Structure 1
Amino acid sequence: MVDRNSHVPIYIQIEDIIKEKIAVGEYIKGSSIPSERELSETYNVSRMTVRQAITGLVNSGLLYREKGRGTFVADPKFEQPLNGLTGFTEDMIARGMEPSSDIVLFEKQLPSFEIKQDLGLNDEDEVYFIVRIRNADHLPMAIERTYIPAKLVPNLSKDQLSGSLYQLIEKEYGLDIHNATQQMEAAIVSKEDAKYLNVGQKAVVLIIKRTSYLSNGRPFELVRSVYRADRYKFISEITR
């Protein structure tokens, strides 16, 4: 119950109560939680306080609202380690999920100056530009925009992209993927990506820009990934 003598704000206490009920299985994934009116009566607090608690849990991805229907328990977020170099397909298979991709665009093009700089290309070098929606169990999780130097993977075709791109590069082209550098930031989803990811136009997304390198130090891939923030959280182990 709510402790009115606690230094912890009441709306935070209600958040914690709802979190605990989800953790013990009283509120299960996909089920609705009690209405604001019911919760305000149960804990003898104002509806504004309850709404503040629920909004906090919605923003953190633990709950989601459906207009005219209520508030529901969301699927748990995927934990994505930041200390390993794996592809989306490998990650989803490791979790026991079925990965798939919808290829939005596949073309060979001359890259922009920024892309040439990141990939160490000359003015005449072309890249394969690939835009893919990445799905897990048929639900959109991310959209990836990938640039790969065409001279490293000659005759790459759209039909080859149904599975893991990393496995394709290593097995079919005999290239040794070694390391990567990446940058991560939060942003409001663009109108185009909101459509691809099936989220609202004000949804928060996680954007990762990653440049990957072969064992000889040569960059072979630049990818800008936009992840649904309500489905992903990134974790990192740090040792002193």
Structure 2
Amino acid sequence: MIDKSSPLPIYYQLEEQIKKQIESGELQPGDMLPSEREYAELINISRMTVRQAMNNLVDDGYLYRQKGRGTFVAEKKVEQELGSLTSFTEDMKARGLVPSSKLLSFEIVPAPEKIANQLQIKEYAPVYEIKRIRLADQVPMALEIVYASANLIKGLTEEKVNHSLYQYIEEQLHLKIGHAAQSVEASIASETEGEHLNIRKGSPILLLQRNTYLEDGTPLEFVKSSYRADRYTFTIHIKRQ
């Protein structure tokens, strides 16, 4: 309900009202909102005020626009805590989502110099190169490329990769995963990334690189991932030392 006598700006009140409708489930992902003109006439405010509220909600990821169609409720973003070392499968299950993967390629290749350095193995030593799309509730979330030593992770197959790689490593090979170093940077989607993630070329994405190690310090994997910025957000808790 908009209170024109309130000291809070009307555009802010409208934003909060729409947010509450989204968070309560009254407005569902994919629902189309009334037009700026309809909102303005319904509440008896200016279209400029409505536009400011809508723009802010689009910028904050609550809404998205489709040219010539209108404004719609966006899908909720998936959050991942950067301070914990979990697999994509574990993350999605913890959030009540159904994880799955679409395997693009699975092969053993000779390690190029850069990959050999990351895994601390000899150049041209055999490594798994795994390319896959990671999905949550059948929605593409990330395009991922994993490199791991074939001499360390023995017996890996396409079937095992399609489940949880970490689960196989810890439960079947009895290797204990220790820690990881990860970097995140903003980028835009290439044509290939856009095609696999169902987004337009040039859309914002998050690029991740992760080096994962066993408890004894042995490099386990080197991972490069492209995450949809409209569906994924990374959080971290920082403690003052």
1:46 and 2:47 correspond: yes
1:57 and 2:49 correspond: no
Large movers: runs of 4+ above 4 Å: 2-8, 10-14
Partner of 2:173: 173
- In structure 2, relative to structure 1, the CA distance for the partners of 1:52 and 1:117 (3 Å cut) is farther
| TM-score where L is the length of structure 2 | 0.87
CA distance in 2, matches of 1:201, 1:13: 35
Q: Structure 1, residues 176-219: CA drift from partner, whole Å, max 9, x if none?
A: 11100000111111111111111122321111111000011011
Partner of 1:113: 113
- In structure 2, relative to structure 1, the CA distance for the partners of 1:157 and 1:65 (3 Å cut) is same
- In structure 2, relative to structure 1, the CA distance for the partners of 1:187 and 1:14 (3 Å cut) is farther
Assess if the C-alpha contact under 8 Å between 1:2 and 1:14 holds in 2. Answer: no
Q: Secondary structure at the match of 1:84?
A: coil
CA distance in 2, matches of 1:161, 1:24: 37
Partner of 1:195: 195
Amino acid aligned to 2:47: S
How far did 1:103 drift? 0.4
Residue identity over aligned pairs, in percent, reads 45
1:85 and 2:85 correspond: yes
CA distance in 2, matches of 1:40, 1:156: 60
- In structure 2, relative to structure 1, the CA distance for the partners of 1:3 and 1:117 (3 Å cut) is farther
| TM-score where L is the length of structure 1 | 0.88
Structure 1: segments with no counterpart, 5+ residues: none
For residues 127-166 of structure 1, what are the structure 2 equivalents within 5 Å? 127-166=127-166
Q: Which range moves more in the overlay, 19-28 or 227-236?
A: 19-28
- In structure 2, relative to structure 1, the CA distance for the partners of 1:106 and 1:73 (3 Å cut) is same
CA distance in 1, matches of 2:202, 2:51: 19
How far did 1:6 drift? 6.2
1:229 and 2:229 correspond: yes
- The number of residue pairs the alignment matches comes to 238
CA distance in 1, matches of 2:215, 2:61: 38
Aligned CA-pair RMSD = 2.4
Assess if the C-alpha contact under 8 Å between 2:113 and 2:124 holds in 1. Answer: no
